[in-house]
Chain A
């Protein structure tokens, strides 16, 4: 049941759905006209599609607006340097620079004005509040504060809420853990990979059980793990508290979250973003629950470089029904299922790398890293999983474990994996975004 203090912004979070849609259409029209007036990039795209400044009158008109893709940001790197034609404000109004991690190509430069930066922390404040972060909390941020936006906005949102924030900056994992224990922090935020990695370091290097440290809340971002049931269960078991997911992107903002009531997916932050699902192989809208579609997002209120109908190439599906939290904001079932360019056919079978994580994390003995590589041998696809084996594992135990793993992978993916076991600790540890899938076919 929802509590008295459930919401950061009750009027908007519980808005009747038809009114919310009306509000979204008004906001979409405003941001469309903003980019039309201010950005040569957008205006060029829209004129080429036969649209004009007043084209947006109905939801049908919204669906005619051309999609924005990462390729469109190739206009960057020229004057006004470095943002080029994507910039919508005078360059002297930009106060923040960040860039994407470049996981899926050339990094995108993202400018923000001070008002945008306040908007970023407002998005995050909505999310943190929904996950139960409160003014009395002491929150540790074990993030190498740098050029990526990642937890920067989380830091500012914690301040906005009134939490006491401890910046874990350039400390190493062991030092971060020691500081968390020393200061008795009761929450932190990190990628699922790092949440597990920190627990591993606490146990192996400090000889400590992090369950005893009084951590009450963990926010995850950057990877899909917190909504993969086996990965979530492993994190919650390691730290003895609830773990909640959140998804955002540098170009887009912090647009979705799992509330503390565990809706079985991600609420869309509908008062600040328009999220559409389009068919995987066309631009047809997907409105029916349970049907996979690719996620297209518009940030309504960002000024310096808003994104209008940005094709994230991430895949999800609408969930039927609401949530115990009482928010009227829609839910994406199981969050982000993977990237469209990672969901690929291997040996003729549709394959998503997220399924491999789900299987690997269901084996309690497998606590280490793993990596999936798809390649060609002659005309045949080969899928190989390299993974770290537990320390001190006998040959017999290792063979049994690998047989079981292979059989589970076969059951879940319909594919025969070649498995390459390696020593525990021999693969790189990731703090920001683990890149565990590599498709080498055609490379």
Chain B
């Protein structure tokens, strides 16, 4: 039943994804279709990050 997930590693992957989105925006943010879709993707990404941000810290204690 255990999910067997390394939460710290999962959160690190989510942070990397956030950085990738920053890069996409830096590169193509002058294109509305990029800027607006990145914004939506950040909303979805945030939903995952808020689940695990604190848990990753607590697991590292």
Contacts and interface: CB of A to CB of B under 8 A. Distances in A.
B13 to A, nearest CB: 14
Contacts of B57: 26
Contacts of A4: 1
A119 interface: yes
B31 interface: no
B43 A26 contact: no
Contacts of A15: 55
Given A114-B39, A114-B40, A115-B47, A22 B58 contact: yes
B54 A23 contact: yes
Given A2-B1, A4-B1, A11-B5, A118 B54 contact: no
A9 B5 CA distance: 11
Interface in A299-315: 300-301
Contacts of B58: 19, 22-23, 26
- Provide the main secondary structure of the chain B interface: helix
Interface string B17-45: 00000000000000000000001101110
A117 interface: yes
B7 A117 contact: no
Interface in A1-20: 2, 4, 6, 9-12, 15, 19
A239 B1 CA distance: 33
A390 B46 CA distance: 53
A271 interface: yes
A122 interface: yes
Contact of B46 (A22, A118, A326): A118
B7 A118 contact: no
A27 interface: yes
B44 A118 contact: yes
Contacts of A86: none
- Provide the main secondary structure of the chain A interface: helix
B2 to A, nearest CB: 8
Contact of B7 (A11, A113, A122, A326): A11
B55 A11 contact: yes
B3 A115 contact: no
A114 B54 contact: no
Query: Max chain A CB contacts within 10 Å: which of B40, B42, B46, B58?
Result: B46
A10 B7 CA distance: 12
A146 B44 CA distance: 24
B51 A115 contact: no
Contact of A118 (B1, B2, B47): B47
B33 to A, nearest CB: 16
A122 B5 CA distance: 20
Contacts of B7: 11
B55 A122 contact: no
A300 B50 CA distance: 9
Contacts of B51: 9, 12, 271
Given A113-B43, A117-B43, A119-B46, 15 more contacts: A9-B51, A11-B5, A15-B55, A22-B58, A23-B54, A23-B55, A26-B54, A27-B54, A115-B42, A116-B43, A118-B46, A118-B47, A119-B50, A271-B51, A326-B1
16 contacts: A2-B1, A6-B1, A10-B2, A11-B7, A11-B52, A22-B58, A23-B54, A23-B55, A26-B57, A26-B58, A27-B54, A118-B47, A271-B51, A300-B50, A301-B50, A326-B1
Interface of B: 1-3, 5, 7, 39-40, 42-44, 46-47, 50-52, 54-55, 57-58
Q: Which 3 A-B pairs have the closest CB atoms?
A: A115-B43, A114-B43, A10-B3
